[in-house]
């Protein structure tokens, strides 16, 4: 059986699922919630992700998929994560500051915990990259739009 680990490291939770890669059936999964809400809990995203991955280290994971909120104009499809892709996701963190940095923490932890296992990033914004220009545009001066690459992206695209 090919086992896929799906990891969604979000702004306040981590959702994960092991999936049978052939049938798509869920094997098991879970959620770690309220991360970052209580400073006294002593656990942040990085520690929670490391603990989860340590628990899953004996699973026969063949591939890991990560939800990443903002792919900007760089990513329009699921993308194999490389060091360069990590850097680009980090550069896009300003567009989704509550999400991309945490998404990236999950990617980095998974790559460290499962060396040699391919990791793919799936971008919320990719689905909406095909918006017609009129739907993707804001009523702003064209020079400002070009200079700052401003456009409507849309989110939660992987839910579609």
Q: What pLDDT, on a 0 to 100 scale, did the predictor assign at position 36?
A: 63
The Cα 70–Cα 52 span in angstroms is 24
pLDDT recorded at residue 38: 46
Query: For position 39, what pLDDT does the model report?
Result: 43
CA gap 3, 7 in Å, rounded: 13
Integer Cα distance of 153 and 138 in angstroms: 11
Query: pLDDT at position 43, please?
Result: 52
pTM as predicted? 0.83
pLDDT in tens, 35-77: 765 444 445 777 888 889 999 999 999 999 999 988 888 898 8
pLDDT, greater one: 79 or 97: 79
Instruction: Give me the residue spans of the domains in the chain.
Output: 3-159
The yes-or-no answer on residue 124 being catalytic is yes
Centroid of chain to Cα 143: 31
Pairing relation of β-strands 3-9 and 61-68? Answer: parallel
**Out of 20, 51, 83, 124, which one is annotated catalytic?**
124
Query: Which pLDDT score, from 0 to 100, does residue 154 have?
Result: 67
Tally helices (H) and strands (E) across the chain.
5, 6
19: nearest Cα among 51, 61, 54, 55: 61
Domain 3-159 sits in CATH at 3.30.420.40
Give the least confident one: 27-31, 74-78, 143-147, 154-158: 154-158
Q: What is the pLDDT of residues 95-121, one digit of tens each?
A: 888 888 889 999 999 999 999 999 999
């Amino acid at each position: 059986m090919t086992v896929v680990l799906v990891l969604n490291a979000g702004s306040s939770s981590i959702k994960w699922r092991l999936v049978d890669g052939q049938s798509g059936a869920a094997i098991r999964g879970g959620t770690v919630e309220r991360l970052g809400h209580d400073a006294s809990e002593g656990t942040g995203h990085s520690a929670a992700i490391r603990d989860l991955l340590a628990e899953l280290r004996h699973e026969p994971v063949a591939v890991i998929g990560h939800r990443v909120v903002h792919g900007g104009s760089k990513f329009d499809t699921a993308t194999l994560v490389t060091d360069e892709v990590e850097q680009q996701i980090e550069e896009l963190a300003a567009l989704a500051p509550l999400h991309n940095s945490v998404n990236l923490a999950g990617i980095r932890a998974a790559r460290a915990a499962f060396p040699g296992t391919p990791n793919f990033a799936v971008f919320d914004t990719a689905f909406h990259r095909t918006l017609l220009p009129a739907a993707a545009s804001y009523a702003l001066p064209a020079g400002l739009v070009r200079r700052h690459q401003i456009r409507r992206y849309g989110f939660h695209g992987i839910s579609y």
